[in-house]
Structures are given as structure tokens and as C-alpha cells.
Structure 1
Amino acid sequence: MTYQQNFTFIKTDKKLIKLNFDDILFVKGLGNYVEIFVKNNKKYVYYKTLKDLIDKLPDEFMRVHNSNIVNLKNVEYIEDNHLIIGEHKITIAKSYKDCLLSSIDKLLL
């Protein structure tokens, strides 16, 4: 059985910070940087592109827009073309919608 790592470390503000994947709400791309939004209204700026990051994140993370990756575990609901995570409203781009909906179909009861 392969071990599924449930946390990572990121380097920000000269510190190495441990992040549990379950605590990550979503990631917003800012060119060569990303903002990682986590529970407790915290966010971290990390020097990494979204493209590099999505390859390293577990399967529950999905790209839903050119500038956003969301953690499906923390999505409260989907309405029209938006995902709601806490007080954040994240737009789902047309180009990512089919892929997102097919992933969600697999999670339906």
C-alpha cells in the first residue's frame, strides 16, 4: 500500500511552514507567485507557479480557472459558475468546468 502524504512544507517569510493539505482552501496564482489561502483566515505567499504546484498537489485539488486551484474537500457548494469556500467566491472558467463536473460526478452518492 502506498503512503499518502497529507502535508507539505512551504518556504515563506524566511520560514518553512508546515501545511496540512486539508487546511488549504484554495490557491490563487499571481504570475510566478501563488497565494495559498488556508483555514483560520490565513494566507501565505509562495514562490511557485500554479502549473508547478498542481502537479505536486493530491487528487482532491483541481484547477478551476487560469488563476485558481481549489481543494474539493473544502468546497461548500457550487452555484452557477462559482464555487463557494467559506466567504470566498471562486469563478469556474468554462474551459475547466467539464473536468470539474466529471470529478464531482464521481463523488456523488
Structure 2
Amino acid sequence: MILKCIAVDDEPLALDIIEDYIAKVPFLELVKRTENAIEALQMVQAGGIDLVFLDIQMPDLTGIQFLKIASGKSNYILTTAYSQYALESYDLNVSDYLLKPIAFDRFYKAVEKVRNQMQKEEVVLPVVETPQNTVAAQDFIFVKTEHKIQKIQLDDILYIEGLKDYISIFTKNERIITLQNMKKMEETLPKGEFIRVHKSYIISLDKIESIERSRISIAGKIIPIGDTYRDEFFKLIEGKNV
């Protein structure tokens, strides 16, 4: 069993140590190291991450806040210089709590515990196949706006427009602006429900009102279909025709 991991810490040196330790363990695979907790949260929400090494004291989003928002979608090992958060973190079902500076033997013991627990769960729990062999569909995402972290229900999203340094998420009731890139947003949104149709647009398939030539109409907005995305879009649309 290979555990796919991400490491989240606002200190590059701390990330270097975790990355080095992960490389020494054959059953760990580092998918991403990042100083951006929001980026890490979106990766966890998208699924496929088995283990998160998570710092507690970070700007924008603390490790404790991260755990509460993520709602147990992965396994977590907290990495911190502060012991006072241990009790609260265990209430949130973290797998282990490592105090900095972290010794490799203590690190190995923590990750081995996670692997053993996951192997037990694999044996005990039957595999449930979903229609596309994916994890259970998420129904919301979190994005960082200027003053807060905002929860957005996926069913409320009409389309997403990418601009130079940010994206606009147009919902049934409002426009939400966030510092994000289109590629990361495209990876976060569930396949089959959202599709990129242009370098500057991602749309919700079930919000399409009409398609005329190379233009899509959603809530009165005309969205162009880019040449790069045309074949994939129409292939998906034809597959939904009855």
C-alpha cells in the first residue's frame, strides 16, 4: 500500500525536513508540498489524498481550522512546535501529533500507524463501487475571498470566469471573487458536473440553457466554446443525449 501525501507548512525549512523524511519511507509518496493551506484544503476536498502532514500555526487558515473544514476526508499528522493544541487535535481524530524538531524514528512510527490502520480498514470494509469508480461526490467547496473563507454549494454555481490574477465564481445569487487559477479550480470541481469550455470559462453542465454553434447560454450569459475544448465538450454533451 502506497500512501499519497501532502505536506502543509508556512516554513520552507520544515517542508524540506518532511519531504526528506517522506523520501526515505518506501510506502509514502509526496504528491505536493505547499505553504498555502487553502490550496491543500482544495486538494483534500477533491479526494485521493491519504495522509496530510499539517502545521498548526499558519496564516489565513490554522491547522485546527483546516481539520474542522475538511471534516475527516483524509488522515492527518500534525507537525508543530506547540504542544498546547494536542488535546483539541485528538478531539478532531488526528492520527498523530509530532512536536518540532521531529526525529525520523518518531516520524516513521507515526506514518506506520496510519498505514496499519488503513490496511485494517481495507480488510474490514467492502469496496463500494460508484458509477465512475470515484469517491463519494462532494457537494461544496471552500474558497478564500478578500476578507474570509467562503463555502460555496456546487449546485449554486452557474459558471466560472478566469481573469488575469483572479477568478470570478458566478452563482445563482452572487459573484464571488477569489485569488485562484483556472487549472486548480478545474481539478477541484467534480468531473461530469463541470467542464472547461474555454481558457477563461468553466461551466456547470446542468445550468446550460442552450447551445448554438460555438456559444453556450447560461442565465443570460453567452459563453464561447474555445477550439481547444470543443471536441471534448461536444463528446460529453452527445453522451448525455437520450
TM bracket, shorter-chain basis = over 0.9
* Corresponding residue for residue 57 of structure 1: 189
Q: Which amino acid aligns with 1:49?
A: N
SS in 1 for 2:211: strand
Q: Deviations over 1:65-93 (max 9, x none)?
A: 11111111111111111100011100111
Please tell me whether Structure 1 or Structure 2 has the larger radius of gyration of its CA atoms.
2
Which residue of 223, 226, 233 corresponds with 1:93? Answer: 226
Matched residue pairs, number?
108
- Distance in 1, matches of 2:222 and 2:201, equals 11
Q: Aligned to 2:178, which of 25, 39, 46?
A: 46
Which runs of 5 or more residues in structure 1 are unaligned?
none
Higher strand share: 1
Question: Which structure features the higher share of helix residues?
Answer: 2
CA contact (8 A) 1:9 1:18 kept: yes
Helix, strand or coil at the partner of 2:237: helix
Alpha-carbon distance between aligned partners in 1 of 2:189 and 2:208, rounded to the nearest angstrom = 16
CA distance in 1, matches of 2:149, 2:136: 23
For the residue of structure 2 that corresponds to 1:95, the secondary structure is coil
> What CA distance in whole angstroms lies between the structure 2 residues aligned with 1:105 and 1:7?
27
| Structure-1 separation of matches of 2:158 and 2:236 | 17
Deviation of 1:98 after TM superposition, in Å, equals: 0.7
Identify the match of residue 76 of structure 1 among 206, 209, 212. 209
TM-score scaled by length of structure 1: 0.93
Instruction: Provide the TM-score with structure 2 as the length reference.
Output: 0.43
Give me the whole-angstrom Cα distance separating, in 2, the residues matched to 1:61 and 1:4: 12
**1:8 matched to which residue of 2?**
141
Give structure 2 stretches of 5+ with no counterpart.
1-127, 129-134
| Runs of 4+ that moved beyond 3 A | none
Deviations 1:44-72 (A, max 9, x none): 11111001110110111111111111111
The one-letter code matched in structure 1 to 2:215 is: H
**Structure with the larger RCO, 1 or 2 (CA within 8 Å, 6+ apart):** 1
In 2, distance between residues paired with 1:32 and 1:56?
18
CA RMSD of aligned residues (A): 1.1
